[in-house]
Amino acid sequence: MVIDRETGQIPPTAAERMNLYDRQMGVEPIRPAARQAPAESAPVSVEAAPQRDAPRPPNERMAAAVAEMNRKQPWSQKPKGAPPSQPARTAQRPQPQPQAGGRKTIVTAKWWDSKGPRSIELGPKGQAELSGGFMALVFGLAIAAIVAFFIEPLLLFAAAFALFRFGGNILGPMGARIVDKALAEKG
């Protein structure tokens, strides 16, 4: 509780001070009209709630209609004379024939193979070497991008620009080395 030391009175609240200020400025408060109490309030008689009618005995015709509706299940009925349904399938395509000895033919592009475009045939070891080399390159670039983002995000944008502008000159020799290494693998 706050008490004014000079007057010993309790100072007016903020609402009271605002009301005093408004009256000095000529603004009268807008208050809702006072309610008038009803002249005479009649006692309310409490009557018992009306009872629901007793449930009707089951109607045989209604029971038969409900049973008929329950027996009809259009999703499980099949049209008469229709062949057994087959699941929807795409047109049958011939299965790709495995190449002899598990070898795979790959066509390189100029932007990631400076010696390309060229068609190369790789065995399982060559495929593994090619996949491993490119995955190492991708993960290396991803790690470099994350580090650049934390150190200097502007550097990341500059690197992205350089990769788009000069990517063939940078990635081409790297890709050619990876492809040559994969070709050198026997098997």
What is residue 143's predicted lDDT score, i.e. its pLDDT?
93
The larger pLDDT score, comparing residue 62 to residue 75, is at 62
Q: What span, in angstroms and rounded, lies between the C-alpha atoms of 34 and 47?
A: 33
Q: Span 44-73, mean pLDDT? A: 71
The answer, yes or no, to whether residue 120 has pLDDT greater than 70, is yes
What is residue 156's predicted lDDT score, i.e. its pLDDT?
83
Q: Write the DSSP string, 109-165.
A: -TTT-TT-S-EEEE-HHHHHHHHHHHHHHHHHHHHHHHHHHHH-HHHHHHHHHHHHH
Confidence class of residue 68 from pLDDT cuts 50, 70 and 90? confident
